[in-house]
C-alpha cells in the first residue's frame, strides 16, 4: 500500500519552472548556440536518465552507491544524531535509503524538488519504508535559499544531501551561487554531504557519456523532442548528432548536439539557421580535483570537514561545513 499524497504535508513555494520558449529563444539566438540542460528531464528524459545509470560505462551511480554503503558508519559518526535530512532533488532511490538507514535516529526528511509529481511519488515510497521519520517535502527550486519546515521532534541540526555529482552540471559561477544558498538553507550549524565525480582518465570519462547502447545519445536528442512538443519547434532529430568530449583544460564533459547539415529550425515566430557541423552546447558535467572543489566551495564560505573516495579515486563524498 502506498501512502496517499494527501497524508503528507507539502510545503508548496510555487516555484516557477522557467519559460521554456523564452529560454530556448535566448540560447538559439546566442553565438555559439546553447540550450539549458534542465529541460532534459521531462518524463521520457527522466526514464532515459535512469537507464543511463544502469549502463556499464556510466560508473558514477554504481561507484557512489558502493562508496556510500562502505562509508556510512563513518558518515554516521561525523553527523550529529537526530538530524533533519534535506535532500536536493526528489531522492526516490537507494542512496536516500542508505543514508536514512545509516544515520543515527534522523528525525525528519525534506526533499526539495521542483516537480510536484516526482516529489510526492518519492516521499510516498520513503514514508512507507521509514515510518518513524517525519516526511516534510517542499516543492521549490533548490537553487534559491529555502525556508525549511520545522520537524515536530526537536532536531538541532540540518544535513543537506546532494548526491550524484549533480553539482557538476552547473558552471563554477552557478555552482558557487547554489552552494551559497545551500549554506543559508542549512544554517550556521548545518552540514552538507555532496557527491562529486573526480577527475580521471579521459577515456573512462568519455565512455560514460558515450555508452555503446546509445542511451546517452537518445537522452540528449530527447531535448529536441521535448522542445518540439512544448514550444512547437520543428527540430528534425535525424538532423543532429550527440557529441560528448572531455575538456581536460576545463575539467568537464562538454555535450553538444551537432547539426549534420545546413538547416533552418522554426521556434515560435523565429527561424534559426544551423550550418553543417555547427555544435550547440547542451550540458556540462564537471569533474573535480581536491583543489578545484575546495576552491569552489570556499567561494561559498564552506570547507571540507571529511572526505571519502572509493578505492580507485573515481568518485568522492564530501562533508561540508560553514
Tell whether residue 165 is a contact of ligand AVI (CB under 6 A).
yes
Q: Which residues pair with 247 in a beta bridge?
A: 252
Residue 220: CB atoms within 10 Å: 24
Query: Of residues 166, 202, 292, 309, which one binds ligand AVI by CB under 6 A?
Result: 166
Tell me which residue of 34, 39, 25 sits closest to 269, measured CA to CA: 25
Please tell me the distance from the alpha carbon of residue 219 to that of residue 44, in angstroms, as a whole number.
8
Cell of 253: 564533459
Tell me how long the chain is: 322
- List C-alpha distances in Å: 115 to 55, 88, 242: 25, 12, 27
Task: Tell me the longest C-alpha to C-alpha distance in the chain.
Answer: 62
The site string for ligand AVI over 7-46 (x = CB under 6 A, - otherwise) reads ----------------------------------------
Give me the 85-104 binding string for ligand AVI, x by CB under 6 A, dash otherwise: --------------------
Give the footprint of ligand AVI on residues 215-244 (CB under 6 A): 216, 219
Among 164, 218, 233, 242, binds ligand AVI (CB under 6 A): 164
Contact 176, 300 (CB under 8 A): yes
Q: What SS3 state is found at 247? A: strand
- Among residues 110, 115, 122, 169, the one that binds ligand AVI under rule CB under 6 A: 169
Contact assessment for residue 167 and residue 174, using Cβ atoms and an 8 Å cutoff: no
Using the minimum distance from each CB to ligand AVI, give the nearer residue, 146 or 221. Answer: 221
What's the min distance (Å) between Cβ of 112 and ligand AVI?
16
For residue 240, the minimal CB distance to ligand AVI (Å) is 16
Touching ligand AVI, residues 121-160 (CB under 6 A): none
Beta carbon of residue 205, minimum distance to ligand AVI (angstroms, whole number): 10
- Closest separation in Å from C-beta 285 to ligand AVI: 3
Report the residue number, 52 or 160, with the smaller CB distance to ligand AVI.
52
Q: Would you count residue 60 as binding ligand AVI (CB under 6 A)?
A: yes
Q: Which stretch binds ligand AVI (CB under 6 A): 24-32, 70-78, 164-172, 309-317?
A: 164-172
CB of 214 to ligand AVI, least distance (A): 12
- Which range touches ligand AVI (CB under 6 A), out of 8-16, 162-170, 228-236, 266-274? 162-170
Of 16, 301, 11, 5, which is closest to residue 148 (Cα–Cα)?
11
Question: Closest distance between ligand AVI and the C-beta of residue 49, in Å?
Answer: 6
Tell me which of 24, 28, 35, 52 binds ligand AVI, using CB under 6 A: 52
Cβ 253 to ligand AVI shortest distance, Å: 7
Q: Are strands 157-162 and 83-88 parallel, antiparallel or unpaired?
A: parallel
Nearest distance in Å: CB 204, ligand AVI: 13
* Closest C-alpha to 32, from 318, 319, 282: 282
Angle at 289 between CA 218 and CA 89, to 5 degrees: 50
Residue 61 binding ligand AVI, by CB under 6 A: no
Give 141-180 as a DSSP string.
-TTS--PPPPPSS---EEEEEE-TTGGGGS-HHHHHHHHH
Which of 60, 56, 53, 55 lies closest to 92 in space, CA to CA? 53
3-state secondary structure of 285: strand
Binding site for ligand AVI (CB under 6 A): 52, 60, 164-166, 168-169, 209, 216, 219, 283, 285
Amino acid at each position: 500500500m502506498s501512502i496517499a499524497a494527501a497524508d503528507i504535508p507539502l510545503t508548496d513555494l510555487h516555484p516557477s519552472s522557467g519559460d521554456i520558449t523564452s529560454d530556448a529563444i535566448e540560447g538559439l539566438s546566442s553565438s555559439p548556440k546553447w540550450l539549458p540542460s534542465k529541460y532534459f528531464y521531462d518524463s521520457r528524459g527522466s526514464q532515459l536518465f535512469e537507464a543511463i545509470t544502469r549502463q556499464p560505462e556510466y560508473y558514477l551511480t554504481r561507484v557512489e552507491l558502493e562508496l556510500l554503503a562502505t562509508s556510512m558508519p563513518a558518515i554516521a559518526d561525523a553527523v550529529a544524531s537526530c538530524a533533519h535530512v534535506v535532500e536536493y532533488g526528489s531522492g526516490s532511490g537507494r542512496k536516500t535509503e542508505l543514508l536514512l538507514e545509516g544515520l543515527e535516529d534522523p528525525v525528519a526528511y525534506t526533499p526539495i524538488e521542483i516537480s510536484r509529481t516526482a516529489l510526492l511519488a518519492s516521499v510516498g515510497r520513503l514514508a512507507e519504508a521509514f515510518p518513524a521519520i517525519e516526511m516534510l517535502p517542499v516543492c521549490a527550486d533548490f537553487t534559491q535559499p529555502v525556508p525549511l519546515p520545522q520537524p515536530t521532534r526537536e532536531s538541532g541540526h540540518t544535513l543537506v544531501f546532494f548526491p550524484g555529482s549533480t553539482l557538476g552540471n552547473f558552471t563554477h559561477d552557478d555552482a558557487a551561487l547554489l552552494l551559497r544558498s545551500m549554506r543559508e538553507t542549512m544554517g550556521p550549524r548545518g552540514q552538507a554531504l555532496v557527491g562529486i565525480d573526480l577527475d580521471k582518465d579521459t577515456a573512462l570519462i568519455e565512455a560514460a557519456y558515450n555508452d555503446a547502447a546509445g542511451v546517452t545519445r537518445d537522452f540528449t536528442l530527447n531535448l529536441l523532442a521535448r522542445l518540439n512538443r512544448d514550444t512547437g519547434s520543428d527540430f528534425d532529430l535525424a538532423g543532429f548528432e550527440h557529441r560528448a568530449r572531455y575538456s581536460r583544460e576545463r575539467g568537464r564533459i562538454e555535450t553538444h548536439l551537432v547539426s549534420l547539415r545546413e538547416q533552418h529550425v522554426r521556434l515560435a515566430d523565429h527561424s534559426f539557421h544551423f550550418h553543417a557541423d555547427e555544435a550547440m552546447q547542451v550540458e556540462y558535467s564537471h569533474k573535480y580535483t581536491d583543489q578545484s572543489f575546495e576552491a569552489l566551495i570556499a567561494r561559498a564560505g564552506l570547507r571540507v570537514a571529511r572526505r571519502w573516495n572509493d578505492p580507485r579515486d573515481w568518485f568522492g563524498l564530501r562533508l561540508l561545513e560553514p
